[in-house]
């Protein structure tokens, strides 16, 4: 939420100062804005100040000359206290992944509904706490594996003609295989932001949030993009795996090579078996 305040303030003030920070493996330009940097600074130093012994991995580089004192008094809101079952774990087993601004490209295009800020806590590489916040509507979804949540899965699904949510740039690539697999009635939903796509699988009280049954990504993706959503899905009994069904470990390198498929209240293994052709494209 603190990061989201910066994201919203920069966008509403129209002081993005967007610039290219490099290219993706697919050759698309990656954007960096003032919103990314200020949100990152706020989120990183708040977490580092509260938990100095914990490793924090963030999408943006932290400039030590640009430190910010952001404090948290360790008080937990009452509505969250009533839902969670606290657990203690060794600090060295924890890795925190933060995405200070998910869907930067859409942010620069003023497609605000796709933008989220995310935090994930992994313990021994397994995602256990996920928080996905939408700065422009102030909606926050969170969940903790075996510990509570404020969100739930949607109850209506159709495995025969699923609605598949994919990246805007991948829609054509996925559509052909999806229609071959599930039939011509399959609906492909192009969308921005990994956080938004996970929320599409859930029962979210948001007017401009699309609904989907399956989330598929067919190329390399960074772990800060997907860790929070993975934790939320795990906590609710859902799944997020590579396209071949392998669990994703949130230690080590910051990238996931095997693409991903995410679902909830569906037969995840059967979905993977239906989509054998997509994995071949995930390393490109």
Which uninterrupted H or E stretch holds 197?
helix 194-199
Give the model's confidence band at 25: pLDDT under 50 very low, under 70 low, under 90 confident, else very high.
Answer: low
pTM of the model: 0.92
The percentage of the chain sitting over the pLDDT mark of 70, rounded to a whole number, equals: 91
Q: In terms of pLDDT, which residue wins out, 20 or 109? A: 109
Burial 136-157 (b: 16+ CB within 10 A, else e): bbebbbbbbbeebbebebeeeb
| Least confident stretch, 151-160, 210-219, 274-283 | 274-283
Of 87, 94, 86, nearest to 54 by C-alpha is 94
Per-residue model confidence as pLDDT tens digits over 74-122: 898 898 999 998 889 999 999 999 999 999 999 999 999 999 999 999 9
Task: Tell me, yes or no, if the two domains 1-150 and 153-280 fold the same way.
Answer: no
Q: Which CATH code for domain 1-150?
A: 3.30.540.10
- Residue 129 confidence (pLDDT): 97
Q: Does the annotation list 102 as a binding residue?
A: yes
Q: Which CATH code for domain 153-280?
A: 3.40.190.80
Catalytic residues: 36, 104
Model confidence at 28: pLDDT above 70: no
Q: Does the annotation list 29 as a binding residue?
A: no
Distance CA(175)–CA(181), nearest Å, equals 10
| Least confident stretch, 37-51, 57-71, 74-88, 96-110 | 57-71
Q: Does the annotation list 59 as a binding residue?
A: yes
- β-partners of residue 126 are 123
Tokens 């960074």 belong to: 222
- Residue 22 confidence (pLDDT): 60
Q: Does the annotation list 225 as a binding residue?
A: yes
| Least confident stretch, 29-33, 74-78, 184-188, 201-205 | 29-33
SS (H, E, C) 2-48: HHHHHHHHHHHHCCCCCEEEEECCCCCEEEECHHHHHHHHHHHHHHH
Model confidence at 228: pLDDT above 70: yes
* Arithmetic mean of pLDDT over the chain: 89
- Residue 29 confidence (pLDDT): 62
Q: Does the annotation list 101 as a binding residue?
A: yes
Q: Per the structure block, which two tokens stand in for 274?
A: 């239906």
- Residue 27 confidence (pLDDT): 54
Length of the chain: 284
Q: What ranges do the domains of the chain cover?
A: 1-150, 153-280
Per-residue model confidence as pLDDT tens digits over 114-137: 999 999 999 999 999 999 999 999
């Amino acid at each position: 939420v603190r990061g989201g305040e910066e994201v919203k303030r920069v966008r509403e003030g129209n002081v993005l100062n967007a610039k290219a920070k490099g290219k993706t493996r697919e050759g698309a330009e990656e954007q960096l804005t003032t919103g990314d940097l200020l949100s990152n600074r706020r989120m990183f130093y708040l977490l580092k100040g509260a938990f100095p012994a914990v490793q924090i991995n963030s999408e943006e580089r932290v400039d030590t000359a640009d430190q910010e004192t952001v404090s948290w008094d360790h008080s937990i809101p009452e509505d969250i206290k009533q839902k969670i079952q606290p657990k203690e774990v060794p600090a060295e087993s924890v890795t925190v992944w933060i995405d200070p601004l998910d869907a930067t490209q859409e942010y620069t295009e003023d497609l605000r509904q796709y933008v989220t800020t995310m935090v994930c806590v992994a313990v021994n590489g397994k995602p256990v706490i996920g928080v996905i916040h939408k700065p422009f509507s102030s909606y926050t979804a969170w969940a903790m594996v075996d510990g509570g949540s404020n969100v739930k899965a949607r109850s209506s699904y159709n495995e025969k003609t699923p609605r598949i949510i994919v990246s805007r740039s991948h829609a054509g690539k996925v559509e052909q295989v999806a229609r071959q697999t599930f039939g011509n009635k399959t609906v492909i939903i192009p969308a921005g932001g990994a956080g938004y796509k996970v929320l599409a699988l859930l029962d979210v009280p948001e007017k401009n949030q699309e609904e989907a049954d399956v989330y598929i990504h067919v190329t390399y993706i960074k772990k800060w993009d997907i860790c929070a959503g993975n934790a939320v899905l795990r906590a609710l009994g859902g799944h997020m795996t590579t396209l071949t069904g392998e669990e994703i470990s949130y230690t080590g390198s910051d990238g996931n090579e095997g693409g991903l498929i995410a679902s909830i209240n569906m037969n995840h293994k059967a979905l993977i078996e239906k989509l054998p052709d997509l994995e071949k494209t995930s390393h490109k």
